[in-house]
A = this chain, B = another copy of it.
Amino acid sequence: MKDEVVWKVGGQQGEGIDSTGEIFSLALARKGYYISSNKHFASRIKGGYTHYQIRVTKDAAYYHGDYTDILLALDQETVDNNKETMRKGGIILRDMKEELIEQTEYITNLNLPLTQIAEEIGGKIVRNMVALGVSAALIGLDQDLFDSIIEDKFYKKGDTVISMNKNAVRAGYQKAKACLIEGKLTFPALKTPDVVTSKNLMIGNEAVGFGALAGGCRFLSAYPITPASEVMEWLKKELPGVGGTVVQAEDEIAGITMAIGAAFSGVRAMTSTSGPGLSLKTESLGLAGISETPIVIMNTQRGGPGTGLPTKYEQSDLNTMINAGHGEIPRIVLAPSTVEEAFYMTAQAFNYAEKYQCPVIIAMDLYLSLFKQTVNKFDFSSISIDRGKLLSDNEVEKNNERFFLRYEISEDGISNRSIPGQKGGVHTANSNEHGETGHISEETTTRIDMMKKRLGKLAALSDPGFDAEGEKEADILLIGFGSTYGVIQEAKKELEKNRQQVTHVHIKRLTPFDTSLIDYLKKAKQVIVIENNYTGQLRRLIQMECNTGTQINSILKYDGNPFTLKEVIEEIDIILNKEAV
């Protein structure tokens, strides 16, 4: 029995690759398996090679795997592109008139007349269902695996369509089962999970949207952009149900400034975008900073710069998320490393924004944003809503000065907040330097006070800024952020097999940076930062923040694709060997 199976379907865009992959993964998620997936697609609307890779695991995993166990190849291009990725014992399943089972030492070629079977049942349209049936049998699951999904998916289309699809699955299933029973084909079955609880299957953008909703967000204004649009699209459906609204803005600047306006009015507000949009929002980020308006900005990184590689993966917006904008503002940049974390961190982002009255950026990346992963059912009771120093109507009304001291100098640098409509709370929010009532001031003393207030207030943010697994005194310290989490985890396990002491630090908050990392840097023998960009932005950030003089190695990849585990291990080996010389 196996702990995992990597299943992949490939073909041309428009051949239903996506929906096939989704049905497959949802079925397994309902059975309690963990799913990590990855897609390859071209930046065009129709046509072009595409594939959908799904790793099914008994235990939690956050990496879609280097190898393929079952390849469902809808055309020859899929075979050509993927045959090198086949793992020993794997099966390449092709749709061919001529049935064939060819077991080589390494893999099995399995040609089945999928189209023909489908046509007998109801048409080529159910071909992928036949293939799913074959897959279920190979993995060792039941033939009713997809039944409930078929029912959900086609309930509007009626019983005929439903039973046609179910039949297609069964036909494929029986075909494969027969081969297995007859011993023409061998494939070890997948172990069942220890605890069988069905899981959520979702993309990171949905998790961000849902996290926002659960975290009290009631307003989103944004402009469409790949790979961020799903946040807006999802919230457009869901926010009205909880008393909120979504505005499709005319551009990214309007996207953020409308959100700032809504936040000023007292609403938890957000905008979502990707690199080019973030660049356009740069000036307005400063507005939120100096006016101390709490907003949340989701930025999902894609291949840059310029229009770059809009449908490819990269982690190259770190510098700009942390630094962009003239002058100096307080900001918080959170980097979730899994889809699950994207949910909770987004909810938390709104608390941070209101508590510290500053912009909070959620740093996602295309991998986290777009590829479906399983997530344990959410613990909604763990989500609290803390509005910080936002005063109630009654509290504000107590003020009987002419102006409310919206920017009152206080010990922690955070001032009480009133919102339009509240009696006693009149003030001017301002992008100009201002005094305590918010009115313009160019006094040097005021300037100094306000700078200290704004830039000092995050000092109180003492939550840990990274997760560390392993000891400080490590042979190897691996550091990453964002969606490299899964692959670094597996690299750590691999290296530990050689009895090396490996510590994995994953940075969760890029700024304010948690400099307790210094201890790890000083004690580790080898420090390696693993990230998907050219210049080593995270490494350089660590150098700037920690200033330890520690020699830090980089493992970088910037070709638009995530690391494979093999690449990471090889690069680590090179670094270790270099040192050994």
Flag A433-468 by CB within 8 Å of B: 1 or 0 each: 100000010101101100110010000000000000
Taking a contact as CB atoms closer than 8 A, the residue among B290, B320, B455, B535 that contacts A308 in the complex is B290
Is A543 interfacial (CB 8 A cutoff)? yes
Shortest CB–CB separation between residue A65 and chain B, in angstroms? 19
A391 proximity list for chain B (CB < 8 A): none
Would B319 and A432 count as touching, CB distance under 8 A?
no
Would A307 and B549 count as touching, CB distance under 8 A?
no
Would B280 and A276 count as touching, CB distance under 8 A?
no
Count of chain copies:
2
A432 proximity list for chain B (CB < 8 A): 306-310
Which B-chain residue is minimally distant from A280 (CB atoms)? B283
Q: Give A542-562 interface residues, CB cut-off 8 Å to B.
A: 543-544, 547-550, 552, 558-561
Would B326 and A305 count as touching, CB distance under 8 A?
yes
Flag A490-510 by CB within 8 Å of B: 1 or 0 each: 000000000000000000000
Is A317 interfacial (CB 8 A cutoff)? yes
The CA of A372 and the CA of B282, in the complex, are separated in Å by 32
Is A431 interfacial (CB 8 A cutoff)? yes
Shortest CB–CB separation between residue A433 and chain B, in angstroms? 5
Would A326 and B276 count as touching, CB distance under 8 A?
yes
A519 proximity list for chain B (CB < 8 A): none
Which of A274, A290, A322 is most buried by chain B, counting CB atoms within 10 A of its CB? Answer: A290
Instruction: Evaluate whether A544 and B540 lie within 8 angstroms (CB atoms) in the complex, with A279-B283, A304-B327, A326-B304 already known.
Output: yes
Instruction: Evaluate whether A312 and B547 lie within 8 angstroms (CB atoms) in the complex, with A276-B326, A431-B306 already known.
Output: no
The CA of A444 and the CA of B43, in the complex, are separated in Å by 14
Is A250 interfacial (CB 8 A cutoff)? no
Q: Give A212-237 interface residues, CB cut-off 8 Å to B.
A: none
Shortest CB–CB separation between residue A339 and chain B, in angstroms? 22
Instruction: Evaluate whether A447 and B280 lie within 8 angstroms (CB atoms) in the complex, with A324-B323, A326-B275, A549-B550 already known.
Output: no
Is A325 interfacial (CB 8 A cutoff)? yes
Would A279 and B558 count as touching, CB distance under 8 A?
no
A514 proximity list for chain B (CB < 8 A): none
Would A326 and B322 count as touching, CB distance under 8 A?
no
Is A480 interfacial (CB 8 A cutoff)? no
Taking a contact as CB atoms closer than 8 A, the residue among B287, B316, B549 that contacts A548 in the complex is B549
Is A469 interfacial (CB 8 A cutoff)? no
Flag A284-313 by CB within 8 Å of B: 1 or 0 each: 011101110000000001011111111110
Which B-chain residue is minimally distant from A326 (CB atoms)? B275
Flag A414-433 by CB within 8 Å of B: 1 or 0 each: 00000000000000001111
Taking a contact as CB atoms closer than 8 A, the residue among B286, B320, B547 that contacts A326 in the complex is B320
Taking a contact as CB atoms closer than 8 A, the residue among B323, B442, B455 that contacts A534 in the complex is B455
Shortest CB–CB separation between residue A72 and chain B, in angstroms? 23
Instruction: Evaluate whether A306 and B290 lie within 8 angstroms (CB atoms) in the complex, with A301-B326, A328-B535 already known.
Output: yes
Would A43 and B442 count as touching, CB distance under 8 A?
yes
Shortest CB–CB separation between residue A252 and chain B, in angstroms? 9
A537 proximity list for chain B (CB < 8 A): 328
Is A53 interfacial (CB 8 A cutoff)? no
The CA of A308 and the CA of B329, in the complex, are separated in Å by 11
Taking a contact as CB atoms closer than 8 A, the residue among B276, B312, B451 that contacts A283 in the complex is B276
Taking a contact as CB atoms closer than 8 A, the residue among B308, B311, B548, B561 that contacts A431 in the complex is B308
The CA of A310 and the CA of B326, in the complex, are separated in Å by 12
A452 proximity list for chain B (CB < 8 A): 534
Is A278 interfacial (CB 8 A cutoff)? yes
Would A324 and B290 count as touching, CB distance under 8 A?
no
Would B323 and A305 count as touching, CB distance under 8 A?
no
The CA of A305 and the CA of B289, in the complex, are separated in Å by 8
The CA of A548 and the CA of B285, in the complex, are separated in Å by 33
A319 proximity list for chain B (CB < 8 A): 323
Would A444 and B560 count as touching, CB distance under 8 A?
yes
Is A533 interfacial (CB 8 A cutoff)? yes
Is A101 interfacial (CB 8 A cutoff)? no
A541 proximity list for chain B (CB < 8 A): 544
Which B-chain residue is minimally distant from A548 (CB atoms)? B549
Which B-chain residue is minimally distant from A301 (CB atoms)? B326
The CA of A279 and the CA of B306, in the complex, are separated in Å by 15
Would B309 and A289 count as touching, CB distance under 8 A?
no
Taking a contact as CB atoms closer than 8 A, the residue among B275, B282, B303 that contacts A433 in the complex is B303
The CA of A274 and the CA of B286, in the complex, are separated in Å by 14
Would A442 and B309 count as touching, CB distance under 8 A?
yes
Would A451 and B534 count as touching, CB distance under 8 A?
yes
A547 proximity list for chain B (CB < 8 A): 543, 547, 549-550, 552
Would A304 and B324 count as touching, CB distance under 8 A?
no
Which B-chain residue is minimally distant from A289 (CB atoms)? B305
Is A69 interfacial (CB 8 A cutoff)? no
Is A314 interfacial (CB 8 A cutoff)? yes
A311 proximity list for chain B (CB < 8 A): 442
Would A431 and B280 count as touching, CB distance under 8 A?
no
Q: Please, could you name 5 A-B residue pairs with CB atoms under 8 Å apart, sorted by A?
A: A276-B286, A307-B430, A320-B325, A328-B537, A444-B559
Interface contacts beyond A314-B327, A455-B534: sample of 19 additional A-B pairs, CB < 8 Å, sorted by A: A278-B326, A279-B326, A282-B282, A290-B304, A304-B328, A305-B328, A308-B431, A309-B433, A312-B442, A323-B324, A328-B533, A328-B534, A328-B558, A444-B560, A451-B558, A452-B534, A540-B544, A543-B544, A547-B549
